[in-house]
Amino acid sequence: MHFTSSNFETFDKSYRANFFNSLNGFKSICLCGTISENGIENVAIFSSIFHLGSNPPLFGMTFRPNQENHQTLNNILATKYYTLNHINESFYKNAHQTSAKYDHFTSEFDACGLTPAYKNNLKAPFVAESNVQIGLEFVQKIDLEINGTTLVIGSIKEVWVDDKNIHQDGFIDLEALGSLTSTGSDAYFKTQKIARLSYAKVGKEIEIIG
Residues from 120 through 159 that contact a copy of itself (CB under 8 A) = 120, 132, 134, 139-140, 142, 144, 146-147, 149, 151, 153, 156-159
Listed ranges 33-41, 71-79, 123-131, 163-171: which one lies at the site for a copy of itself (CB under 8 A):
163-171
Q: CA–CA separation, 107 vs 44, rounded Å?
A: 10
Q: How far apart are CA 94 and CA 88, in angstroms?
A: 10
Strand partners, 86: 30
What is residue 185's DSSP assignment?
A: T
Among residues 51 and 69, whose Cβ is nearest to a copy of itself? Answer: 51
**Residue 62 phi, psi dihedral angles, 5° rounding:** -115, 150
Among 2, 37, 39, 66, binds a copy of itself (CB under 8 A): 2
Is residue 108 within a helix (H) or strand (E), and if so which, with residue range? helix 108-112
Q: Shortest approach of a copy of itself to residue 97 CB, angstroms? A: 5
Task: Map the footprint of a copy of itself across residues 69-88, applying CB under 8 A.
Answer: 84, 86
Interface with a copy of itself (CB under 8 A), residue from 57, 70, 73, 78: 57
User: Is residue 201 part of the contact set for a copy of itself (CB under 8 A)?
Assistant: yes
The length of the chain, given as a count of residues: 210
